[in-house]
Amino acid sequence: QVQLVESGGGLVQAGGSLRLSCAASGRTISSYVMGWFRQAPGKEREFVATISRSSSVTRLAGSVKGRFTISRDNAKKSVYLQMNSLKPEDTAVYYCAADQAPNSYSDTDDYDYWGQGTQVTVSS
């Protein structure tokens, strides 16, 4: 079992930056593929980014590629999402997720563990 807790959300102006953190507890995260997802009001949860166990591979949604960066520190049992050039469309609750062997890295249904989420609001 692994427990995930997100932090770093808040209110920022368009064009600003924000860094989200996901702290894990219970066991090491080195055996887990980690991901970030988001859910805007009235919309389905969508894929944002994912990172492999050793950080050798990362994938980003087209809507955030070039603006967001995902990283991890297995020793600190943490995963991060650096968000730059934020847009109002990025407003959502952001969730950290983990899975030992997801069939699809971008499918919300394929991750077993989830945090409670942290709110990100981008004003225009």
pLDDT-based confidence at residue 28 (cuts at 50, 70, 90): confident
Amino acid at 100: Q
Residues 6+ away with beta carbon under 8 Å from 9: 18, 20, 93, 94, 118, 119, 120
| Rounded CA separation 73/17 (Å) | 21
**pLDDT tens per residue across span 73-117:** 999 999 999 999 999 999 999 999 999 988 899 999 999 999 999
Pair type for strands 58-60 and 118-123: unpaired
Average pLDDT over the chain, rounded to an integer: 96
Q: Name 58's bridge partners.
A: 51
Amino acid at 10: G
pLDDT-based confidence at residue 26 (cuts at 50, 70, 90): confident
